[in-house]
């Protein structure tokens, strides 16, 4: 064998007799056994909470260490307190620090060392900085507990450290656990759940790695106490679906659960040239760069009709691609962009300058508070009086935001955008894949409007017809309001803006002439006082 390389300890060491799990006193549940026996390179054990996933990960790491002398295992969780509560707790309780196998625990380094030279390094990695610090070197087995909570870029970086410098030590692959939700929800769901049809099949990814999903259910684990199941039963519906049923299609952290293919997505069509058009851009190089195009119809509804999305594209090239995507007669009123694109970068020109030199004249989005921006996106996702297209299909209402079915990345990332798990939970998780949602936010915050304003205008218009102030032959609906507002008799509509108020402020505002509540519960304030 390789005693010379492994050193004295390994030379003196003999593989323990009998099954590793027997010696540890660990009896895997039948589902945990399926997980331990999986031969695929990249396996996710996931679904409901309490199924025995964290225990299985620790047991797996220990068994592989005994099986392959000299193995280096990296066991990751997002933060240190979380690591302590999950993997480290199981390591000390269920597995007694592997002492039955001669392993020794280094509590300063968080490392479990085996007599055969194998090593499990328990680490936390919340940011790329965490991942690069101290985690250099290589691993042959990567363990991620609660993988959806670890940002996807951190996972990718750590995956790049998966290799072996020695022919006698195999690269074993990746073992992860996950519950639905968190900033990695979208990428985890896509790779393991959607692509395997909920674990029905395995597949080989573009790098030739076999990928498998093993669903984990609470009822698979007889060791979990009855109160825990009762607690999960008592959760609000969305949380219960995610954590009890392990349902990946609804998850508690989803920012815009109201987004629906059936209501918001429309087939591409030629949009009237009279509609004002806007673009909105979020810059990135290693992170994706994105641009969205939207046209605004007579009702103030936003029709997102084109997207650009990609990484590793330089800023001059981004600008050229934006222009190349547009038709010859396509007139863009304003091109909004992330304010950060005006920042100077040492000797380099500001990104907005490079764009300008390549024919794309940007306007800073002046985007304001993030939460206000997301609130605006929400008022656009809400229903307004139906557009002509949907009215023809017999709908009475339709959302104030439509997107063409060709905008695959916009739909996907807006649908998967997670809520923040720390700080302001009304915010989106900025570790999520938020570039195109950010573009939408910049654009909608600038053009104003949204469902609430249109409903109000429409209701006023109807009231005015009822009292005879406006002749009834004008067609009802927001388009008519816009038309009559620009005409002499109705006078201009007062401008409104949505405001975020605390419940106490909202109660006060309800008695205040300067505020109106919209049908979807947003408080609106008349601009210009009065």
Chain residues in the site for Mg ion (CB under 5 A):
54, 86
Report how far residue 23's alpha carbon sits from residue 451's, in angstroms, rounded to the nearest whole number.
64
Residue 281 partner contact from ligand ATP, Mg ion, none using kind-dependent CB cut-offs of 5 to 8 Å = none
Identify the H or E element spanning 480. Answer: helix 478-486
For ligand ATP, which is the closer residue by CB, 64 or 282? Answer: 64
Residue 55 partner contact from ligand ATP, Mg ion, none using kind-dependent CB cut-offs of 5 to 8 Å = ligand ATP
Q: Contact, 319 vs 358, CB < 8 A?
A: yes
**Least distance between Mg ion and beta carbon 32 (Å):** 12
For Mg ion, which is the closer residue by CB, 54 or 413? Answer: 54
Q: Which residues of 67-81 are buried (b: 16+ CB within 10 A; e: fewer)?
A: ebbbbbbbbbbbeee
Pairing of strands 203-204, 210-216: antiparallel
Residue of 16, 21, 29, 358 interacting with ligand ATP (CB under 6 A) = 29
498 near ligand ATP (CB under 6 A): no
Report how far residue 466's alpha carbon sits from residue 475's, in angstroms, rounded to the nearest whole number.
13
Report how far residue 168's alpha carbon sits from residue 261's, in angstroms, rounded to the nearest whole number.
51
Residue 352 partner contact from ligand ATP, Mg ion, none using kind-dependent CB cut-offs of 5 to 8 Å = none
Q: Contact, 135 vs 167, CB < 8 A?
A: no
Residue of 6, 24, 42, 54 interacting with ligand ATP (CB under 6 A) = 54
**Least distance between ligand ATP and beta carbon 509 (Å):** 42
Q: What is the contact mask toward ligand ATP in residues 183 to 212, using x (rule: CB under 6 A)?
A: ------------------------------
Residue 221 partner contact from ligand ATP, Mg ion, none using kind-dependent CB cut-offs of 5 to 8 Å = ligand ATP
H helices present in 97-179, as ranges: 128-132, 152-159
Contacts of 115 (CB under 8 A, 6+ apart): 9, 10, 12, 13, 102, 103
Identify the H or E element spanning 20. Answer: helix 20-24
393 near ligand ATP (CB under 6 A): no
Residue 257 corresponds to which tokens in the numbers above?
């659960």
Report how far residue 32's alpha carbon sits from residue 55's, in angstroms, rounded to the nearest whole number.
9
Q: Given the structure tokens 């209701």, which residue do they identify?
A: 459
Residue 149 corresponds to which tokens in the numbers above?
């909570």
For Mg ion, which is the closer residue by CB, 143 or 440? Answer: 143
150 near ligand ATP (CB under 6 A): no
Report how far residue 172's alpha carbon sits from residue 158's, in angstroms, rounded to the nearest whole number.
14
Q: Which residues of 348-367 are buried (b: 16+ CB within 10 A; e: fewer)?
A: eeebbebbeebebebbebeb
**Least distance between Mg ion and beta carbon 223 (Å):** 13
**Least distance between Mg ion and beta carbon 145 (Å):** 6
For ligand ATP, which is the closer residue by CB, 28 or 477? Answer: 28
61 near ligand ATP (CB under 6 A): no
Residue 94 partner contact from ligand ATP, Mg ion, none using kind-dependent CB cut-offs of 5 to 8 Å = ligand ATP
Residue of 2, 94, 202, 363 interacting with ligand ATP (CB under 6 A) = 94
User: In the 8-state DSSP scheme, what is residue 475?
Assistant: P
**Least distance between ligand ATP and beta carbon 403 (Å):** 34
51 near ligand ATP (CB under 6 A): yes
**Least distance between ligand ATP and beta carbon 253 (Å):** 15
Residue 385 partner contact from Mg ion, ligand ATP, none using kind-dependent CB cut-offs of 5 to 8 Å = none
**Least distance between ligand ATP and beta carbon 58 (Å):** 8
Report how far residue 293's alpha carbon sits from residue 275's, in angstroms, rounded to the nearest whole number.
12
Q: Which of residues 215-244 bind ligand ATP (CB under 6 A)?
A: 216, 221, 223-224
Q: Secondary structure of 173-196 in the HEC alphabet?
A: EEEEEECCCCCCHHHHHHHHHHCC
261 near ligand ATP (CB under 6 A): no
For ligand ATP, which is the closer residue by CB, 52 or 399? Answer: 52
Report how far residue 335's alpha carbon sits from residue 446's, in angstroms, rounded to the nearest whole number.
11
Report how far residue 355's alpha carbon sits from residue 352's, in angstroms, rounded to the nearest whole number.
5
For ligand ATP, which is the closer residue by CB, 19 or 330? Answer: 19
What are the phi and psi torsion angles at 250 (to 5°)? -115, 135
Residue of 6, 34, 44, 55 interacting with ligand ATP (CB under 6 A) = 55
- Contact residues for ligand ATP, defined by CB under 6 A: 27-29, 32, 49-55, 86, 90, 94, 177, 179, 216, 221, 223-224
């Amino acid at each position: 064998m390789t005693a010379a390389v492994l050193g004295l300890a390994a030379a003196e060491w003999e593989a323990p007799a009998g099954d590793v799990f027997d010696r540890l006193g660990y009896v895997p549940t039948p589902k945990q056994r399926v997980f331990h026996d999986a031969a695929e390179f990249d396996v996710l054990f996931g679904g409901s909470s309490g199924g025995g996933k964290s225990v299985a990960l620790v047991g797996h790491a220990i068994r592989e260490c005994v099986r392959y002398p000299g193995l280096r295992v990296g066991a990751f969780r997002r933060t240190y307190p979380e690591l302590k509560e999950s993997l480290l707790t199981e390591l000390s309780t269920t597995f007694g620090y592997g002492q039955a196998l001669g392993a020794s625990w280094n509590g300063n380094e968080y490392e479990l060392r085996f007599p055969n030279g194998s090593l499990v390094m328990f680490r936390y990695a919340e940011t790329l900085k965490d991942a690069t610090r101290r985690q250099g070197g290589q691993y042959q087995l990567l363990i991620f507990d609660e993988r959806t909570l670890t940002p996807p870029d951190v996972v990718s970086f750590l995956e790049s450290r998966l290799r072996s410098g020695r022919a006698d030590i195999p690269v074993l692959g990746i073992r992860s656990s996950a519950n639905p939700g968190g900033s990695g929800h979208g990428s985890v769901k896509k790779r393991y759940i959607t692509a395997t049809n909920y674990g029905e099949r395995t597949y080989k990814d573009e790098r030739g790695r076999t990928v498998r999903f093993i669903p984990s259910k609470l009822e698979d684990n007889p060791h979990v106490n009855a109160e825990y199941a009762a607690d999960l039963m008592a959760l609000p519906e969305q949380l219960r679906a995610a954590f009890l049923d392990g349902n990946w299609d609804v998850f508690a952290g989803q920012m815009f659960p109201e987004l629906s293919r059936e209501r918001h997505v429309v087939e591409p069509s030629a949009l009237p040239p009279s509609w004002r058009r806007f673009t909105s851009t979020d810059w990135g190089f290693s992170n994706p760069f994105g641009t969205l195009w939207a046209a605004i119809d007579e009702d103030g509804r936003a029709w997102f009709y084109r997207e650009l999305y990609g990484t590793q594209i330089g800023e001059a090239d981004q600008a050229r691609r934006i222009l190349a995507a547009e038709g010859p007669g396509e007139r863009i009123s304003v091109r909004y962009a992330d304010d950060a694109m005006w920042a100077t970068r040492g000797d380099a020109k500001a990104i907005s300058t490079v764009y300008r030199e390549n024919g794309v004249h940007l306007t800073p989005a002046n985007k304001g508070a993030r939460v206000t921006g997301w609130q605006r996106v929400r008022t656009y996702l809400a229903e307004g009086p139906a557009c002509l297209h949907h009215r023809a299909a017999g709908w009475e209402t339709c959302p104030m935001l439509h997107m063409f079915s060709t905008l695959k990345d916009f739909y996907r990332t807006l649908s998967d955008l997670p809520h923040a798990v720390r700080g302001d939970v009304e915010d989106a998780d900025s570790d999520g894949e938020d570039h195109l949602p950010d573009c939408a936010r910049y654009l909608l915050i600038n053009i104003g409007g949204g469902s609430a304003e249109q409903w109000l205008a429409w209701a006023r218009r109807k009231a005015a017809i009822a009292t005879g102030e406006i002749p009834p032959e004008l067609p009802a609906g927001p388009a008519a309001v816009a038309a009559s507002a620009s005409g002499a008799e109705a006078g201009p509509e007062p401008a409104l803006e949505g405001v975020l108020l605390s419940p106490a402020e909202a109660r006060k505002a309800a008695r205040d002439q300067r505020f109106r509540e919209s049908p979807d519960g947003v408080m609106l304030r008349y601009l210009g006082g009065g």
